[in-house]
A and B are shown apart, each in its own frame.
Chain A
Amino acid sequence: MSTAVEVWQWLTDPAHWTGPDGVPIRTAEHLRISITALLVAVVIALPVGIALGRSGRGSFLAFTIGNIGRAVPTFALLFIFASWDPVGVGDLAAILALVLFAIPPLLTNTYIGLREVDVDAKDAAVGLGMTSWQRLWRVELPLAVPLVAAGLRTTTVQVVATASLAAFVGGGGLGRYIVDGFGQQDTVLVVSGVVLIATLCLVTEGVLALLQRAVTSSPLRSGSLVASGSVSEG
């Protein structure tokens, strides 16, 4: 178990926590790539998912995009973007690949969230004389929040995890330690990278779980199987 000791020494060595190759900078790069990709994906997927889910049309579109999205590996998208002249190697290729990775699950969950809003609640809102806008903001969106938030949470964690691949195409982030470690046949560097990435992913998951609880009104809280099981519908 000398590797474990060496990894511990690597992680606790102050030299690895400063400079452009230090853990704080790499973590910041990692988060910047993830958050940028996620924001772009949200700006695209949420409005489209809301519009499709409200109209009740386009279920074919929403599910087709969801299914195709699952079949196209992010790993492949990453290299396609990086070897395409207008994008080139670096963080941008990773961000674009992650945007395409994040859109399908966000779109499907938003679509389902709005689709599943209780018909009686919608009818009552119409009966109260609410306009379409008011119904969306005061009734449909609040009721759709649990599913949309669950989708956002899973997608965010997956984006943070997948952002590790950026290092393959010359991007930054914590994946650098793994890819560089492989390049130098340095097991300690690789395993230290794994520990850092795993920690970041688990912390992200924990923070988002708390956030999700906070934004979901208490009567709508339910078991986690419902939240993550939405995809497994055959």
Chain B
Amino acid sequence: MPFLVAAVVDEPPNPWLSWTYVTDHVDALVAAGKEHLLITLASVALAMVVAVPLALLVRRYPGLCGWVLGLGGVLYTIPALALISVLWPMFGLSPLTVTIALAVYALLVVLRNTLVGLDGVPAEAVDAARGMGFGRRRLLLKVELPLALPAILAGVRLATVSTVGLVTIGALVGHGGFGTLILGGFVDNFYHAQIMTATLLTVALAILLEGLLLLLERVLTPWSRIRSTS
């Protein structure tokens, strides 16, 4: 009875790359992309708003430095999955849960780079500014922060790229941008095309943001171009 054999063996094709998938799901892909981008930008922005003032505070009171970096290191060690989970009872199944959790990781990267950048400000530049009668505030805004800018921006770029990857884990609470599609594709009978498309778009988003931030670094710090050849 040949028809029985055919009934058992016949499996539908499940390609990894499918243009039909993309054209059929444009809306879902755009929505996921928007969420992914928004959570990434919100996390990094939140991290910057906290990290830069925190770096200044730590410099003002050096005794705090060990504590802050130590606590940051402890938080950085805890996996994103765990941090998202522990915020879930407080903030629920919302994008906010993912944003706050990921801001913690971005925070440490930006904080470290800001401290490194401020430490790297040449003492001569500070002396010269003091000699010219610069007060503490003017020294900071006109000399120290501009000179630390390349390091700060490099930290922001690094934080952004890793945040793009981490957002996917937000799928746990249903707000992981492309990650939600990856998890959904997995649950939906190993839907290869959906998993692969969402993965490639995540990578593309990371590369795009990295490129844009590199460009921004060049525009904002034209003087550092000479040194950046290595």
Contact = CB atoms under 8 A, between A and B. Distances in A.
Contact of A164 (B77, B81, B185, B217): B81
Contacts of A121: none
Interface of A: 3, 70-77, 79-80, 82-83, 157, 161-162, 164-165, 168-169, 175, 178-179, 181-182, 187, 190-191, 193-194, 197-198, 201-202, 205, 225, 228-229, 231-232, 234
30 contacts: A3-B89, A70-B206, A71-B165, A74-B165, A75-B176, A76-B182, A76-B198, A76-B199, A79-B183, A80-B195, A82-B190, A157-B77, A161-B79, A162-B79, A164-B79, A178-B81, A178-B82, A182-B172, A190-B85, A191-B85, A194-B86, A197-B81, A202-B78, A225-B112, A228-B112, A229-B116, A231-B158, A232-B155, A234-B217, A234-B228
A71 B81 contact: no
Contacts of B199: 72-73, 76-77, 80
A70 B162 contact: yes
Interface residues of B, number: 50
Nearest to B157: A234
B77 A165 contact: no
Chain A at the B interface: SS class: helix
Contact of B89 (A74, A191, A231): A191
Contacts of B52: none
A179 B172 CA distance: 8
A229 B206 CA distance: 21
B97 interface: no
Most buried by A among B79, B86, B203: B79
Interface in B5-19: none
Contacts of A201: 77-79
Return the 3 tightest CB-CB contacts between A and B, nearest first: A83-B190, A161-B79, A73-B165
Nearest to A196: B82
A79 B194 CA distance: 11
Interface of B: 74, 77-79, 81-83, 85-86, 88-89, 109, 112-113, 116, 150-151, 154-155, 157-158, 161-162, 164-166, 168-169, 171-172, 176, 179, 182-183, 185-186, 190-192, 195-196, 198-199, 202-203, 206-207, 210, 217, 228
A70 B161 contact: yes
A82 B157 CA distance: 31
A80 to B, nearest CB: 6
A234 B154 contact: yes
A229 B69 CA distance: 13
Given A3-B89, A83-B195, A71 B186 contact: no
Given A73-B179, A234-B217, A79 B185 contact: yes
Given A194-B86, A234-B154, A234-B228, A75 B192 contact: no
A191 B78 contact: no
Contacts of A79: 182-183, 185-186, 195
Contact of A70 (B81, B109, B165, B185): B165
A83 B192 contact: yes
Given A164-B82, A182-B85, A229 B112 contact: yes
Contacts of B165: 70-75
Given A79-B195, A83-B195, A71 B161 contact: yes
Nearest to B80: A161
Given A71-B164, A198-B77, 13 more contacts: A70-B165, A72-B165, A73-B166, A73-B179, A75-B171, A79-B185, A79-B186, A161-B82, A168-B183, A198-B82, A232-B116, A234-B154, A234-B228
A169 B196 CA distance: 16
Given A76-B202, A191-B86, A161 B77 contact: yes
A73 B202 contact: yes
A73 B168 contact: yes
A232 B186 contact: no
B169 A75 contact: yes
A194 B104 CA distance: 16
B112 A75 contact: no
Nearest to B188: A83
Most buried by B among A73, A164, A175: A73
Contacts of A161: 77-79, 82
Nearest to B176: A75
